[in-house]
Structure 1
Amino acid sequence: MLLAIEQGNTNTLFAVHDGAHWVAQWRAATESTRTADEYAVWLHQLLQMRGMDFSGIDACIISSVVPQSLFNLRKLAQRYFQITPYVVGDNTHLGIEVRIDKPSEAGADRLVNTIGAFIEHGGPLIVIDSGTATTFDVVAADGALEGTAISPGINLSVQALHQAAAKLPRIAIEKPVHYIGKDTVSAMQSGIYWGYVGLIEYLIDHIKAEYGQSMTVVATGGVASLFEGATTKIDHFDPDLTLKGLLEIYKRTIEHNKR
């Protein structure tokens, strides 16, 4: 079975694929100081709850945007599964071009999403990933990554507002019924939520205009579902986009190594 690990700045996703289906998924808060042994204890218990154990894992692929954590994720695979993991951006075969000025600056998460979105929806695309940051990746008709817009994520915006303004509380992000708030919480919810919808719609419109072609818009990421029904600019909400991309990269790498 394949263990796929997708590590973002906020959360880390562990998922197991049995060759036909994703059979288990778990999330943990990303902590850069967590050791391979700590990961192993946590993961062993979760695997056992699903009737699996370490002996069933014979392959591993990792995508991480947290360099200081990558060492321990590699050690997890090497020490407890006795395998050398595939790491996106290191020993994997992507099978796409990265047409930006500095290809090395393209994060692993963006590369994975590019491939996952392209195999699922074709191109050209705008791929929106809502996490710690919100990224708008432009994917060409041939699957190449051609550029990006990056803004602070909605949760980061809420946190910054609370920390910078003494009288503004930390709030939960919800879709408000009204645009005009009648108290501090409802006012903040309206400004943050609808302001973010406005940001998304504005960037979609202007990216399409600049690109000059019809584009499909796909949204993924931890908070993307918040915006379902709030805008008609997003064509597809695909929460499993990253896993689809990781699986495809794994398959391409295996096939490439056979040649």
Structure 2
Amino acid sequence: MILAIDVGNTNIEIGCIQGDDIVFVERLHTDGTKSELEYAISIKTVLELYKIDRKTLDGGIISSVVPPLTNVIRRAAAKVTGREILVVGPGVKTGLDIRIDNPAQLGTGLVVGAVAGVEEYSCPLVIIDMGTATTFTVVNEKKQVVGGMIMPGVGIALDALISRTSQLPKISLDPPKKFIGSNTVECMKSGALYGNAVCLDGMIARVEEELGQKVTAVATGGMAKYIIPYCRTPIGLDDALLLKGLKIIYRRNA
């Protein structure tokens, strides 16, 4: 069994993988003020919740888009597991064929998601990661990463809207009663949920137009479960996609 951790700007995704099975997936809030010991306690607590004996862990792997936290969490995971922790980065084998202007610029999270996407789904493929930002990674029929798009995430867009207006309140993302809202909160919910869903539909349609063929679409990330149900384009929801990618990369470097 291995411990897999994906460090994002908003959340840290933690899971254990045994064979081909994801034993569990949990999320912690990303906090740059926490110490190595505090993160070690959090990781240990999650393992205990799922009754995972630390002695059964053979190793671990981390991907991170938050450089100041990468080594803090690597050391915390090593402290909990007593094992060496692999960090996805330069020199780590991924098996990806990256065809963008500067392959080194492809973010770690996008690399991990693409590794899993290519293995799990048919190509051409669009991988949508809905976290702090909403990112699109496009893989062609030859399983080559050819590029993508980046836009503000659902949460960031809502926070910007609320902070720049004096009369709009904070809202939850539970479904509006109808598409055309009849009060401020319902209007905001409709805009956030349906607006982002329509955006995903449109972005995928334009990818298909540029590639000249239909694509498979799969979404992951903390905000995906709120938006994907309102899309008209078939989009798979894979909450464990990044952990699957970490599993594959770990094996390729074992």
TM-score under structure 1 normalisation? Answer: 0.91
Superposed displacement of residue 131, structure 1: 1.0
User: What SS does structure 1 have at the residue aligned with 2:97?
Assistant: coil
CA distance in 2, matches of 1:18, 1:181: 46
CA distance in 2, matches of 1:17, 1:104: 28
TM-score under structure 2 normalisation? Answer: 0.93
User: What SS does structure 2 have at the residue aligned with 1:180?
Assistant: coil
User: What SS does structure 2 have at the residue aligned with 1:60?
Assistant: strand
CA distance in 1, matches of 2:234, 2:219: 7
**Does the CA contact (< 8 Å) of 1:34 and 1:69 recur in 2?**
no
- Structure 2 partner of 1:257: none
Structure 2, gaps ≥5 residues long: none
- Structure 2 partner of 1:184: 184
One-letter amino acid of the counterpart of residue 11, structure 1: N
Q: Does 1:218 align with 2:218?
A: yes
CA distance in 1, matches of 2:229, 2:156: 22
**Does the CA contact (< 8 Å) of 1:16 and 1:22 recur in 2?**
yes
User: What SS does structure 1 have at the residue aligned with 2:218?
Assistant: strand
Describe how 1:112-191 pairs up with structure 2 within 5 A: 112-191=112-191
CA distance in 2, matches of 1:227, 1:77: 32
Superposed displacement of residue 174, structure 1: 3.0
CA distance in 2, matches of 1:53, 1:100: 42
Count, aligned residues: 254
Distance 1:180 1:235, change over 3 A: closer
Superposed displacement of residue 52, structure 1: 2.9
Superposed displacement of residue 20, structure 1: 4.6
Q: Does 1:231 align with 2:231?
A: yes
Q: Choose 73-82 or 31-40, whichever is displaced more.
A: 73-82
User: What SS does structure 1 have at the residue aligned with 2:129?
Assistant: strand
Q: Choose 118-127 or 193-202, whichever is displaced more.
A: 193-202
CA distance in 2, matches of 1:161, 1:150: 19
Superposed displacement of residue 109, structure 1: 0.9
- Structure 2 partner of 1:243: 243
One-letter amino acid of the counterpart of residue 88, structure 1: V
**Does the CA contact (< 8 Å) of 2:193 and 2:230 recur in 1?**
no
Q: Give deviations 1:67-120, integer Å, cap 9, x for gaps.
A: 110011221234443333211123421001211112121111111111111111
**Does the CA contact (< 8 Å) of 2:44 and 2:80 recur in 1?**
no
- Structure 1 partner of 2:105: 105
Q: Choose 155-164 or 225-234, whichever is displaced more.
A: 225-234
- Structure 1 partner of 2:8: 8
Structure 1, gaps ≥5 residues long: 255-259
Q: Give deviations 1:142-176, integer Å, cap 9, x for gaps.
A: 32211011111111111111111011101112332
- Structure 2 partner of 1:77: 77
One-letter amino acid of the counterpart of residue 149, structure 2: A
User: What SS does structure 2 have at the residue aligned with 1:43?
Assistant: helix
Q: Give deviations 1:228-257, integer Å, cap 9, x for gaps.
A: 442231332222211111111111222xxx
CA distance in 1, matches of 2:136, 2:123: 14
- Structure 1 stretches of 4+ with a deviation exceeding 6 A read none
RMSD: 1.7
Superposed displacement of residue 128, structure 1: 1.0
CA distance in 1, matches of 2:229, 2:44: 39
CA distance in 2, matches of 1:236, 1:20: 19
Q: Choose 97-106 or 64-73, whichever is displaced more.
A: 97-106
**Does the CA contact (< 8 Å) of 2:228 and 2:235 recur in 1?**
no
